[in-house]
Amino acid sequence: MTRPRVLVLAEAANPEWVSVPLVGWSLATALREVAEVHIVTQIRNRDAFLRAGLVEGVDFTAIDSEALARPLWALGERLRMGQGRGWTTLQVINALSYPWFEHLVWQQFGADIRAGRYEIVHRITPLSPTISSSLAGKCARAGVPFVLGPLNGGVPWPAGFDAERRREREDLSYLRSAYKALPGRTATLRHAAAVFAGSRHTMGELPGFARAKTVYLPENAIDPARFSRIATPAPNGPLRAAFVGRLVLYKGPDMLIEAAAPMLRAGHLHLDLVGDGPMMPALRAQADTLGVTAQITFHGWLEHRAVQDVLATCHLFAFPSIREFGGGVVLEAMALAVPPLIVDYAGPGELVTAARGLKVPLGTRAEIIAGFAKALEALSHDRAALAALGQAGRAWVLEQATWAAKAGQVRRVYDALLAKAPLPEVFAA
């Protein structure tokens, strides 16, 4: 079968970073196995591409949009007033700087697109549904299908967590729906031949005309070469649970400690907290106040391999985050056969089913704590059920949620577009 020629736009793509850049890199490079791909990225990623063995001018092109991107990024960092905070503010800044990147892309590749040297143009990043594309219309006029996504984001803050919202400097999120009126959004969606939605929530926020050409495809996946271990927790002794993530309010590490405290004090549970962040001093103080310091290991930030080493000793991944767009860390735990216990909301809620994990209903802070406490107590008496959930989760991840599987899912959409056939469902949740 002939491999389609695809120009992949991944402004944020870097194998040495995390979050969106790692998603951009992982999907873009996975697509090279199923299509003839040329990746277009931003100049900041050039050296990492070269260190990864890609050849500039053959495998990728780095676009220098720094004249506008650098000062706007600096402005965004000042407005966020803290590393990792103010995600909505950062998206507003990206919406101002990204159009210049696409302008430069068209200057360099417009003639090739019009000449049909690429059969498909696929914009992977930005993942945000707020950022429009001038290339969508230009590709449509050239008769070349423009694919958008996976788009993800726009998940509302749950009711009752306004304090957490304010401490995360997410004041702009109160105006979250305003992006739907941004210039270019409707035109981008009309001109796109297909849209990948990274979450059911994001799909639900698209206008009706766009949903008909939208395919559900979660943004995250795993690399089996990086997640090659299978958890082998101790069969006896206390239940061992892990939390992995930034120590910030909306990820709920304090809620987890409070929920786990009775079992920790009784010696029926040990908790591994992996990660660092502004809450670390408060979490240590909380553990001391509750008398559970000896039953919690505060690992701090760990290298990726060391994170796997910790997870591989655990029976359970406990993650009470109340605002996760994608939930990549949940997939990573499942890949190691560690079943997740999560809040049933947004990305993690879509990835976890009763066959491969456990979900606590979204509610107030007190309700989430009570739900986690009840679940932890029940799970401590049924190790066999935990092991079965872990194996089921791992099997599902390896079938549906590897980067290779995701590339194959995307290829099915490419084939449908080129054949002018209906778009398929590609992801089995």
Domain 5-221+402-418 fold is Rossmann fold (3.40.50)
Give the tens place of pLDDT for each residue, 371-399.
999 999 999 988 999 999 999 999 999 99
Identify each DSSP E strand in 31-109 by its residue range. Answer: 36-42, 60-63
Domain 239-400: which CATH number of 3.40.1080.20, 3.40.50.2000, 3.40.30.10, 3.40.50.880: 3.40.50.2000
Q: Which two tokens stand for residue 35?
A: 């299509």
* Alpha-carbon separation of residue 385 from 137, 356, 390 (angstroms): 52, 10, 9
Percent of the chain beyond pLDDT 90?
76
Q: What is the mean pLDDT of residues 311-336?
A: 94
pTM of the model: 0.90
* Cα gap 98→287, rounded to integer Å: 44
Separation of first and last alpha carbons in the chain: 28
In this predicted structure, what is the pLDDT of residue 429? 82
Q: Is the separation of the CB atoms in 21 and 133 below 8 Å?
A: no
| All CATH 3.40.50.2000 domain ranges in the chain, comma separated | 5-221+402-418, 239-400
In this predicted structure, what is the pLDDT of residue 280? 97
Least reliable range by pLDDT among 17-31, 65-79, 85-99, 410-424: 85-99
In this predicted structure, what is the pLDDT of residue 124? 98
* Alpha-carbon separation of residue 290 from 33, 164, 239, 254, 337 (angstroms): 52, 22, 19, 11, 31
Q: Which residues of 385-422 are buried (b: 16+ CB within 10 A; e: fewer)?
A: ebbebbebbbebbbebbbbebbbebbbebbebbeeeee
Backbone angles phi, psi at 38, to 5 degrees: -120, 125
Q: Is the separation of the CB atoms in 202 and 219 below 8 Å?
A: no
